[in-house]
Amino acid sequence: MSIVISNPPYNMKWQHPFFAQSQSRFDLGLPPENNANFAFVLSALDHSEKATFILPNAVLYTSNKDEFIVKKNLVDKNYLEAVISLPGNMFESTSIPTCILVFNKRKSHSYTQVIDLKGKETKEIRDQRGQYGKTNTNRVYKKELNVLSNDVIKEVLSVIESRKNEVGFTKSVSINDIKEQEYDLNPGKYIDTESVDNIHRPYEDIIKDLNRIIESKNGVKITINEKMAKDLEIYDLMQDFKQSKELNKNMNEMLKAVNPNLKIKKEDIAALSRNKEMKFEVKNFERVPEMIALFISMWKQFVMTLNNEENRLLVELRDALLPDLISGDIDVSQNEYDAKEDK
Are 235 and 161 members of one domain? Answer: no
Are 47 and 174 members of one domain? Answer: yes
Q: For the chain, what is the total number of helices (H) and then of strands (E)?
A: 8, 11
For residue 22, the domain's CATH number is: 3.40.50.150
Q: Which helix (H) or strand (E) holds 87?
A: none
Question: Smallest Cα–Cα separation from 53: which of 62, 40, 72, 63?
Answer: 40
Are 25 and 64 members of one domain? Answer: yes
Question: Smallest Cα–Cα separation from 85: which of 60, 63, 106, 122?
Answer: 60
How far from chain centre, in Å, is Cα 325? 29
140 is a domain residue: no
What is residue 221's three-state secondary structure?
A: strand
Taking the chain (343 residues) in runs of 10, the rounded mean pLDDT of each run is 89 91 92 94 95 93 90 97 91 81 95 94 80 52 85 95 93 96 93 69 86 83 89 83 81 84 88 87 62 61 80 84 76 54 47
295 is a domain residue: yes
For residue 310, the one-letter residue type is: E
208 is a domain residue: yes
Rounded to whole angstroms, what are the CA distances from 36 to 15, 70, 72, 322?
9, 12, 17, 40
Q: Distance between CA atoms of 62 and 71, rounded to whole angstroms?
A: 9
Q: Distance between CA atoms of 291 and 293, rounded to whole angstroms?
A: 5
Are 184 and 254 members of one domain? Answer: no
143 is a domain residue: no
pLDDT value at position 29? 94
Are 211 and 162 members of one domain? Answer: no
Are 185 and 210 members of one domain? Answer: no
Phi/psi of residue 142, nearest 5 degrees? -95, 145
pLDDT value at position 303? 78
pTM for this one? 0.62
Question: Residue 202: is it exposed, middle or buried by C-beta count within 10 angstroms (0-12/13-18/19+)?
Answer: exposed
The two beta strands, 111-116 and 122-131, are: unpaired
Are 176 and 208 members of one domain? Answer: no
Q: Which helix (H) or strand (E) holds 113?
A: strand 111-116
126 is a domain residue: no
- DSSP sequence for 124-161: EEEEEEEE-TTS--EEEEEEEEEE--HHHHHHHHHHHH
Q: Where among 189, 212, 244 does a domain terminate?
A: 189
Are 305 and 161 members of one domain? Answer: no
Number of domain units in the chain: 2
pLDDT value at position 334? 55
Residues of the domain holding 294:
203-342
Could you tell me which residues come within 8 angstroms of residue 22 by beta carbon, excluding any fewer than 6 positions away? none
Are 37 and 66 members of one domain? Answer: yes
76 is a domain residue: yes
What are residue 124's DSSP bridge partners?
145
The two beta strands, 278-282 and 220-225, are: antiparallel
Are 320 and 215 members of one domain? Answer: yes
Q: Distance between CA atoms of 295 and 73, rounded to whole angstroms?
A: 31
134 is a domain residue: no
137 is a domain residue: no
Could you tell me which residues come within 8 angstroms of residue 241 by beta carbon, excluding any fewer than 6 positions away? 267, 269, 270
Are 318 and 236 members of one domain? Answer: yes
pLDDT value at position 133? 45
Give 3-state DSSP helix, strand, coil % of the chain, rounded to 5.
45, 20, 35
pLDDT value at position 297? 65
Q: Where among 134, 164, 189 does a domain terminate?
A: 189
Q: Distance between CA atoms of 59 and 78, rounded to whole angstroms?
A: 17
Are 115 and 207 members of one domain? Answer: no
